[in-house]
Chains A and B, each alone.
Chain A
C-alpha cells in the first residue's frame, strides 16, 4: 500500500495564492486517497467545486493562528492529535514522498514556491493574539460602558499623571510585548511603595499608557529594573518631601536606533522617545506601586520632571567618555542610568574662553546645589553643553581634567560653612569646623554632555539630599 491511511492530514491554502490555484488536481488526489481536511483562509468558495475535497472556512484565521501557519500551501501530517511533520510550498517529489502517492501532480510543474499566510500580514499577529490567545494576558479586564469616553475613563480611574494617557487595549499591549523576547508573566521586581510584584505585562500596559512605541519597550524594561535596584532607593525617593524623582540618561547605539534626542532642547519637550520612556516609569510607580501625590508621595513642591525627565547623552565626540563609560561600560553598550534628581539649574558662562575660567564658573554654580553651605549632602549631574565642551577641548582639557578641577575648586574649609556663618542658620554642624570638606561625596558628581550647538549654557541637575549609601546612588544598567 503506497498511500497512507493510518494518519490524518490538513492542508491550509488561500485562493489569492497562485501556487494553491495550481495544485488543485493534486489536492483532489490527496483527498481521494488520504484523510484530508482543507482550510481556506480567504474565499470560502475556493475549492468548493472540487469533487471529493472537504474544505473548511478559516476566514477568521483561527485554525491558521493556532497551527502557526506561515506559508500557503502548508500540508500537515497528524499522528492522532499530534502534528508529526509539515511541508510548505509545492515541490512535487517532496509531496509524493510525504503523502506516499507516487503519481501525485503528474501533469503539474515540479516546483513552485508558496505565498505568505494571511496570519503574517502586517499587524495581524497581535490582532489574532487578541482574538484567540488573550489568556496570554493576565491583567484584569476593564470593560467600558457604551457611553463612556475612554480618555475620561482613564482619568476617572486615576491612571494618569494629569495629562491624557493612551487607553491600554489588548492589541496595543500585545504589540508592546512583541518588542521584547521576555514572557509577559516574567516578574521584573517589586514596586514601591505597595511592594507589589510587577510583571513584564504590567510594564507593557504602563508603557502603552505613557505613549511609548514598541521600539522603546526593551529600554523601558531596563529603566524599570534599574529603578527597582536597592541602591537606587526608589521607595524613599517616592516618599520624600524633597523635590527629586528619577532622571533617566541613555547611552549607546540604542539612542539613534529609537530616535532619542541628545541635541537641541534635549532636556525639554518634543521628542517622543525622551518624553514617553521617562513617563512610563512614573506611571508604573503610580499605578502598580500605588505612589501618588497626596498619598505616599509627600513632596512639598515636587518638580516638572515628575511628569518625565529622560534624555540621551551626546556621544558625537570620541574623545569625551560617556556617562556609561564612566560607569564601566563600553562605547558600544546600550545603557540606561537612573539618577535621583530634580530641576534644571542654569550655568551661564558666555565670556570664558579658557578652561580655567570656565571650570571656576561651573564650580561656583555647583556650590548652590541644595544649599550653599551644605556639603556632602546631595549628588549632582553637570550637563556640559557643546559650546562649553569646545572651550575645554581648545584649551587642551579632557573630561578627567575638568572633573579634577571641579573637585579642587569645591574643596572648602568647614569653618566657612558652619551654621550661623553669613547670618544663615543653615549650614554644617560644629564637628566639621576644622575639616576640609568637598561639596560632593566621592562619586557624587557626574558629568554628561548634551544640548544644541548654539548657546554657552550648561546645566546642573541637582540631586536628592539623601545621596549615597544612606539613600540613592546613580544606577546604570545595560539594555538587554
Chain B
C-alpha cells in the first residue's frame, strides 16, 4: 500500500511520529474495562485484576470476546469505548 513519503503540512511544532493517547493520571474514580479474550483460565486472572482495581477505587466493567483468534467484534469495541475510560485486555496464556 505504501512506502510513500509525504511532506508535513503542519507547523511541525509536534513530533512527526504519532504519539500515544494520554494516559489516565489516576485509577480512583475511573471506569476500567476488562476484556477476556477467551483463553483458558482468563477469567480467574481477570477476577484477581478486578479485585485489585476495586481496592484502588476504580469501577470495573467485564467484557468478553468470542474467540482469541480474531479481533473483537466492532460493536464490542464501540461499546467499550463509550462505557470505559481505559481497557485492559486479557492476553496470552
Contact = CB atoms under 8 A, between A and B. Distances in A.
A205 B6 CA distance: 9
A206 to B, nearest CB: 5
A147 to B, nearest CB: 6
Q: Which of B1, B7, B16 has the most CB of A within 10 A?
A: B7
Interface string B6-21: 1111111100101000
Given A194-B11, A194-B13, A150 B5 contact: no
B9 A288 contact: yes
Contacts of B9: 139, 159, 168, 202, 205-206, 209, 283-284, 287-288
A137 B6 CA distance: 11
A142 B13 CA distance: 14
Contacts of B3: 144, 146
B4 interface: yes
B1 A150 contact: yes
A144 B2 contact: yes
Interface in B25-48: none
A143 to B, nearest CB: 5
Contact of A169 (B5, B8, B13, B18): B5
A146 B2 contact: yes
Interface of B, helix, strand, loop or mixed by DSSP: loop
A142 B16 contact: yes
Interface residues on B, range: 10 to 19
B8 A205 contact: yes
Contact of A142 (B1, B6, B11): B6
Interface string A406-423: 000000000000000000
A431 interface: no
A139 B8 contact: yes
A137 B11 contact: no
Given A142-B7, A194-B13, A290-B13, A148 B2 contact: yes
Interface string A175-217: 0000000000000000100101000011001100100000000
Interface residues of A, number: 37
A319 B74 CA distance: 62
A157 B7 contact: no
Given A144-B3, A150-B2, A289 B16 contact: no
Nearest to B2: A144
B6 to A, nearest CB: 5
A290 B1 CA distance: 29
Contacts of B13: 194, 196, 290
Contact of A167 (B4, B11, B16): B4
A161 to B, nearest CB: 12
A145 interface: yes
Contacts of A257: none
B4 A144 contact: yes
Nearest to A202: B9
Given A169-B7, A201-B7, 15 more contacts: A139-B9, A142-B7, A143-B4, A143-B5, A144-B2, A144-B6, A145-B2, A146-B2, A146-B3, A150-B4, A150-B6, A167-B6, A170-B5, A170-B7, A287-B11
Interface of A: 137, 139-150, 153-154, 156-157, 159, 167-170, 173, 191, 194, 196, 201-202, 205-206, 209, 283-284, 287-290
10 contacts: A140-B16, A141-B8, A142-B7, A146-B2, A168-B9, A191-B11, A194-B13, A287-B11, A288-B9, A290-B11
